[in-house]
Every structure is written in C-alpha cells, then in structure tokens.
Amino acid sequence: MLSTSTTAPLAKSFCVVGISQGDYIPYAKNACTPIADPYASLTAPADGPCITAKDLRGYLGSTSSGGGKSDTFGADAELMPGTYCNGMKISGVNVTFLPGIYIVKDKPLEFSKGSQATGVGVTFILKGKATLEIKTNSQVNLRATASGIYGVLVFFQTPDLAKVGKAPKYPTAISNIKSGGGLTIIGAAYFPSQKLVITSDSPVQSKSPATSLIAYQLEFGGKSNTQIRVDHEAGGIPPLLPRSDEGARLVR
C-alpha cells in the first residue's frame, strides 16, 4: 500500500499484512492477520447481446478513449443495463444509469473531465482489459444495489486471463480515480488483479458514508484527501466486506 498524497489518507485504523509506504492517519500497523478475499469465489455474469449504443439517448458516437475508441454518451443520456462491447465513455452532464448490471468489455469505463453522472442500484462488471478511469473535475455519484449476488458491489473487475502456459503478471492493468470535483461511491470497488490509483490535483474528499476498496495494489497520490467510512446503514446498503475490527488494511 503506497501513499504519496500531500494529505495523509484517514481511516479508523490501517492494518497491513506486508509493507506500507507513505503517511497515514493513524500510522499503518504491520504484520496484521491476513483476511481472505471475500469475493474470490464470485464469478462474473455471462455476456448478453451487445447493447446497440446508437439507440440510446445521448449517444455521441465512437470517440477516442484510453483504450482506442469507445461508445460515448453526452448530456442528458439515460443508459440501460446490459453488455457494452465497445467500452463506455461519459462526456456530458446529467447522465443517468438505470438500476441494474452493466458489463463493460475490454475497453475503459471512462468518466471524462467535467462529466456528471448518477446511478442508484448499479453494478459495473469490468471484463478482460477493461479499466476504470474517473477524470479530474467529474461529478460521479454511484450506489450499489442492496440485494442479489452482486449486492454491495459498485465495481467488480474480472482478471484478464493469461495465455495458456504463461503466468499472469500483476498488476494486470491500472485503474485511476482522479477527482477535483465530487465523488461518491457507496459500496465496494473490487479490483483483484489491478492497481487502483486515487489522486487529485486539489484537496477534495469523497463524502461517501460507506466505501470499501479492494485491489491488488492501492496507491494514494496528489492532493487527494481520502477518508474511508464504513457506515453501511447511512449508505442504505448491507454491511461491507471484509469485516474487520482493525480498520483499513491490505488484504494480500
């Protein structure tokens, strides 16, 4: 676990199985008891038919994204659950995600600079080479569903399978949360084979009452003011996993 942020991440406590680098409030404890990955046995849902993006309100066409070109949605877009085979880029304000499961395949789920999006009762499944990219000054407010097999999960990343006979190299990719505006993620963000980097160009903080971050590696940087809370009742969701009395910790 690495922190290069000018404002130290804040939690009830930090507990690390291996090593930590950087400043934390309070100081990170080492040599803590490992906790099993609570979602290791959870499998991703099967792909459905590819969403015909041009039929959705607010579609702007296929534009440049971190992974090439992705289907892009602008102001007042209303997106429906399903399988997005050409990635998903949010590039406008007042974008709404209807409740349900969104499968994003092999390209980024990107919230462009200055975008604004809201979703209640949503889960994003990132498959293959898909990553999460939340750009600076975006306003992203997402809350997980409170029930079902993917309940509590806002983001669920499935590892990109290694070629036969070759061991995967970890981390397999990097997902980024860069926020200079507002960011509220109520639920769990699960990136078991990726590095999750949380940074900001200005001293802002997430106001989410309940957030769980699980990743192969976590890095805090820039001027981000990261405060992790786990009040699931205030968030209107079931208890977050993994449960621990030792606060924020590196699982493995």
Q: Is the pLDDT of residue 245 over 80?
A: no
Q: Is the pLDDT of residue 184 over 90?
A: no
Please, which contacts does 62-68 make with residues 24 or more away whose CB atoms are closer than 8 Å? 62/86, 63/89, 63/91, 65/89, 65/107, 65/108, 65/110, 65/133, 66/108, 66/110, 66/131, 66/133, 67/106, 67/107, 67/108, 67/129, 67/130, 67/131, 68/107
Structural domain count, the chain: 1
**For the residues 36-63, what does the mean pLDDT come to?**
93
**Torsion angle (degrees, nearest 10) of CA 11, 142, 241, 8:** -20
| Residue written as token pair 């289907």 | 71
Q: Residue 211 sits in which domain range?
A: 2-250
Please report which confidence band the pLDDT of residue 35 belongs to, taking 50, 70 and 90 as the band edges: confident
175: CB partners within 8 A, 6+ apart: 126, 131, 132, 133, 157, 191, 194, 195, 196, 197, 215
Least confident of 4-8, 25-29, 175-179, 216-220: 4-8
The pLDDT assigned to 98 comes to 98
Instruction: Assess whether the previous peptide bond of 26 is cis (omega < 30° from 0).
Output: yes
Q: What is the pLDDT of residues 43-56, one digit of tens each?
A: 999 999 999 999 99
Residue with more model confidence, 247 or 216 = 216
Against a cut of 0.85, is the pTM above it? yes
Q: Is the pLDDT of residue 78 over 90?
A: yes
Residue with more model confidence, 210 or 203 = 210
How many Å apart are CA 108 and CA 58, to the nearest integer? Answer: 19
